Amino acid sequence: MADKDSGLRGIVAGKSALSWVDGQVGQLTYRGIDIADLAEHTSFEEVAYLLWHDALPTRAQLDELANQIDEARALPAPVMDTLAALPADTVPMDALRTAISILGSFDPDQGDDSLDASRRKAVRLLAQTPNVVAQVGRMQGGLGPADPPAGAIASSFLATLFNAAPTDEAARTIDLLLVLQADHEFNASTFAARVIAATLTDMHSAITGAIGALRGPLHGGANQAVLDMLLQIESPDDAEAWVLERLARRELIMGFGHAVYKTADPRATILRGMARDLAPSSDNPEWFQTSQIIEAVMLREKNLNSNVDFYAATVYASLGIPPMLFTPIFAVSRMSGWTAHVLEQQANNRIIRPRAEYVGHANRQVTPIDQRG
């Protein structure tokens, strides 16, 4: 078991039936179904339903969910006005955090924190979050607002962001990314959401806290840092020397290692194949070769495998997604998991209140103020 100074690594902090990470063999399951099976045979909406209801939807149930999402996508005018009023250089994750917080005040179930109301809020958040991210992307790209079209979350998001219907390949790629990143046990943002939800506050408060945690570069920002690395490496021929030089300076190479996986991250394995398939048609086909070299050097030198962020950066970039939106799109995906964890916490709640090991001073006394110096 990990000691108390290691960020609680290895310490079980609660029970959940949502997802399971087997770090020894490199397996991830949602509700007992392997991530590779879900990636091959389901859509993101089906995965969200699975996380919420512990069963994959029937055709009728999926159609009903799709209708609910279509009905909930639109953002209230004051939310759009707030996004437009933010400074032009606002970090998109900050804009998303602000929008989700405001949406809580406009939610039809505002003030009702029952489990049934929270389930309805979860559907609306799943529908609204990709619209928020797309609108932020449009604004920062110099475009005005646009109404999101009906349809699957992935295709509607891309159509809104780029002002054009996406190719089938692009829509399927984003849908796969959303499936792969939907949930991952008690990661930092999910645990933050559960701690907040355990106080019996509202769904939007818990999700706003989760977004704040995901914003940190040690959690959600690694994918953008990976692209920054690829941009610095001029060609695949320079990749090995670039990595070795930074390792010699004890610099962190983003996109490698994981708190739980001791072997390959199964999501990275799937993403590697996606990046390979997209490379020939991308503007920077050499990035995949560069990534493979970096991956090989890190495994050889540090015995570290790539994680989900490493190839996700290449996949996003191959589709023309602006780097500033990498982490917000991660939030679009993780919204399914976050809301499922809040619902699970609410269904069997006990406030989360751990203890701290005190390591400070002892037996001190107050010195009168005129004797301090």
Which residues are catalytic, by number? 258, 309
Q: How far apart are CA 163 and CA 135, in angstroms?
A: 11
For residue 315, give the nearest of 296, 333, 337, 300 by alpha carbon: 333
Tell me the three state secondary structure of residue 63.
helix
Match 């969910």 to its residue by tokens. 65
Q: Which of left, alpha, beta for 352 (phi over 0: left; psi -120 to 50: alpha)? A: beta
Tell me the three state secondary structure of residue 20.
strand
Structure tokens at 321: 């997604």
For residue 186, give the nearest of 8, 306, 4 by alpha carbon: 8
User: Which secondary-structure segment (H or E) carries 208?
Assistant: helix 203-214
Order the strands of the 19-22 sheet from edge to edge.
Answer: 19-22, 27-30, 33-34
Q: Are the beta carbons of 45 and 66 closer than 8 angstroms?
A: yes
Match 């002892």 to its residue by tokens. 362
Under 8 Å CB-to-CB from 54, ≥6 apart: which residues?
A: 17, 31
Q: How far apart are CA 298 and CA 344, in angstroms?
A: 38
Match 């790209």 to its residue by tokens. 141
Q: How far apart are CA 106 and CA 103, in angstroms?
A: 5
Angle at which helices 326-347 and 203-214 cross, to 10°: 140
The alpha carbon torsion through 193, 14, 216, 30 (nearest 10 deg) reads -80
